[in-house]
Chain A
């Protein structure tokens, strides 16, 4: 069963979903799109943080022809990613449908270069497993998988949206200057620096040079300051401070009649007992010891990224500061 109506249509559709999901999980990151055609690699979009521009460029130019060249693509990507500073994470995701690669030189050298520049290359194959892709992923620490059908492909693709673990020694802490712009008042008219048009209301003003930008996160065109909003930063934190996995509560504990507080899930207040007064499966947070049902467990770990039990604790440390 191959992909219907055509591999290109299916892949494009899922790439759009992936781009949106990626920027949802990593608002401070950037994506660039590269296509391989007729043995050459071309840059479709530059590294940027606006999902709409990528999707527009992708849907506007959907064509395929000729052989594929893995080496040319890796060389092109290597040139672009080398300009990223060291505190940034460099990754390549290759969606490969061909069964061979037509290279002008020694691809093993290119793979070694990527390994040296710490570029993590992952491949999702659409037809069959290819040795060179397997070798590439093994050398650079990426993941290689081959999609069996459309839903499997979507699953594999979205697996790459959350960021992979990075080695602490390579990601040295750096202080980066960032601006948190305020939203301009409704009555203000100004010419924005990205479109060169006069826009009414809306928009944000760079706190350093007072230029107007249309959307966040972005880099101010005039003074080069990275402009973000606090929700964007918070969403990136969730990957650095993940919720510890909840422990399963053994049924013997639940049967204890003294444990009255564990009759309802702390998150949704649904009863933890199935009809017949028998205890159902539930989990508990290792820090705050509150009980949660399985649905809340999934929701907390995948979407919320905060444990309600831990958040409802008083911070005893802070109280001590104010009382001084």
Chain B
């Protein structure tokens, strides 16, 4: 089949869309669409791996020639191209068909080798996009992916299983957290006054609006009712701020007057009826044994005592203006109650409308839950009643003690030493008698012997011969650690940099592939299922292929670097040898255990 196909086409997001004109170019593993208009953003670069199927419209002279490349047959999502004429479309269709067939073959080959499929991969589009993005950004990852997944050594699932961290990203963890309400009372709006003019400015942020709606259900209800039917959002907040300003001035007479004129303003100035009814309902649910006399009229609105002493005398207000009075304690208590209840919604606070609706929805949900789930509320009430017990009045809660369990180390160490000596005794086959003790007599005698020997022979002068010393020193520095010696003190330079670039790249590439293979190899032990057995065999075959390549590199490199390269390659070969040895040992164990079985059953 031809290597690539280039045709003019229009890219459409849906059938009815007019589409973006451009050029579609397809190669064996991916297709690229470039729009004619360079400023357009409808560029595409998709690999055929992610295309599951293709559909096409029926041939007919007046019907448009459409080709739809689908990603997932159930969820939809795909790319629709319209061609100028049908023969063009046919050529592309054939090409796509062949490319897809090739990919499905490769994936089928991989799945045949895994006799038991552990789980089906339901990839969401987000997941797939993230994978494509990662592959595009990291060319090394792409090389690994191509080398192993496409050749069937590893499945997609296995490849990405070790890279969960890359896929998850950092954002997913913190974004699941929600921020609680601030303890500070930001809903208590304080205006900025401009000394020169008569204007006062109120600053409202979505966070403040959220708190206002949560603390004052009447305002929330008013917003849902009035906006956008009766007034715009700006008017609504203007009225609200006017009400706040009147409260600030503590002029109840003026407040009453304005409320009488403006119906909507009255909503903000009067007491919150919804809040009052909620408070009454809560009081009814309280445990009947609790004395509520002190909290009579417990919406904190009716007790005359709840005023703040000013100038030595209490504020006496005309009863008709009573409902326009608001006290600090009311606000504080309401704010505290809201903060402690927690934050019901975690929607993005951009638009006031969304905030209001989300809050209303959550309240409805909560009310419905309360009615249906009686047991949960019962449990909660019990817990609350337990917590409200005053600590000083309770009996001391003595938790039971658990005794410290300190074992005698001699038991452990002595038994281990006995084991060690036993094995030592086995290896020595009891030929040598181990004498563990020396009497002082014997020790003194041998020491005296040494002293008299030295007295007669004397110490050699010099004690260490200089030429021998030099030989040893050279041997240690230049020969054994010759690489370090030649590298010198330059910390930037690494051994790999001194090799020619091709060799360096090859070595690194082999090293990363070996690491990948070994990681999967060791993780599949101990082998418990046929799937793991097949996987281990596959990996072993792949590793046996790399082995001779490493030998080749050793031989192909120039003689100056041969020593270094062989030193570098040595540990890689050792690692592979260890893996092979483990595999063979495991095979032997299995065949010894299972005995002779027909047809190579495992």
User: Which A residues fall within an 8 A CB radius of B?
Assistant: 38-43, 67, 69, 71-72, 75-76, 100-106, 108, 165, 167-169, 185-191, 193, 196-198, 200-201, 205, 208-212, 221-224, 237, 240-242, 314-315, 317-319, 321-322
Complex alpha-carbon distance, A163 and B253, angstroms: 68
- Which B residues lie within 8 Å of A104 (CB)? 177-180, 342-343, 346
- Which A residues lie within 8 Å of B482 (CB)? 187
B494 touches A197 (CB 8 A): yes
B579 touches A209 (CB 8 A): yes
Main secondary structure of the interface of A (DSSP, over half): loop
Q: Does B406 have its Cβ within 8 Å of any Cβ on chain A?
A: yes
- Which A residues lie within 8 Å of B511 (CB)? 191
B575 touches A67 (CB 8 A): no
Mask, B53-73, CB within 8 Å of A = 1, is: 000000000000000000000
B343 touches A105 (CB 8 A): yes
B519 touches A221 (CB 8 A): yes
Task: Give residues 447-503 of B contacting A (CB, 8 Å).
Answer: 476, 479-484, 487, 494-496
Q: Does B429 have its Cβ within 8 Å of any Cβ on chain A?
A: no
A200 touches B483 (CB 8 A): yes
In angstroms, how far is the closest chain B Cβ from the Cβ of A127?
Answer: 15
Interface size on B, residues (CB 8 A): 64
B575 touches A102 (CB 8 A): no
Nearest 4 CB-CB pairings of A with B: A223-B522, A39-B179, A190-B571, A104-B178
Which of A186, A205, A221, A319 is in CB contact (< 8 Å) with B481? A186
Mask, B336-347, CB within 8 Å of A = 1, is: 000100110010
Q: For residue A186, which residue of chain B has the nearest CB?
A: B481
Complex alpha-carbon distance, A161 and B578, angstroms: 39
In angstroms, how far is the closest chain A Cβ from the Cβ of B319?
Answer: 39
Q: For residue B566, which residue of chain A has the nearest CB?
A: A189
Q: Does B594 have its Cβ within 8 Å of any Cβ on chain A?
A: no
Main secondary structure of the interface of B (DSSP, over half): helix
- Which B residues lie within 8 Å of A169 (CB)? 402
Complex alpha-carbon distance, A188 and B570, angstroms: 9
- Which B residues lie within 8 Å of A39 (CB)? 179-180
Complex alpha-carbon distance, A211 and B573, angstroms: 11
B180 touches A69 (CB 8 A): yes
Q: Does B124 have its Cβ within 8 Å of any Cβ on chain A?
A: no
In angstroms, how far is the closest chain A Cβ from the Cβ of B484?
Answer: 5
Apart from A104-B178, A210-B577, what are 18 other A-B pairs with CB-CB below 8 Å? A40-B174, A104-B177, A104-B343, A105-B178, A105-B343, A168-B402, A186-B480, A186-B481, A187-B482, A187-B567, A190-B570, A193-B515, A200-B481, A209-B575, A209-B578, A221-B519, A224-B523, A322-B425
Q: For residue B339, which residue of chain A has the nearest CB?
A: A102
Complex alpha-carbon distance, A42 and B172, angstroms: 11
- Which B residues lie within 8 Å of A189 (CB)? 483, 495, 564, 567-568
- Which A residues lie within 8 Å of B579 (CB)? 209
**Contact A200-B436, Cβ < 8 Å, known A39-B180, A222-B515, A317-B414:** no
**Contact A200-B495, Cβ < 8 Å, known A185-B480, A314-B437:** yes
A76 touches B173 (CB 8 A): yes
B177 touches A211 (CB 8 A): no
Complex alpha-carbon distance, A321 and B425, angstroms: 10
In angstroms, how far is the closest chain A Cβ from the Cβ of B425?
Answer: 8
Which of B343, B437, B479, B518 is in CB contact (< 8 Å) with A209? B518
- Which A residues lie within 8 Å of B582 (CB)? 208
Q: Does B197 have its Cβ within 8 Å of any Cβ on chain A?
A: no
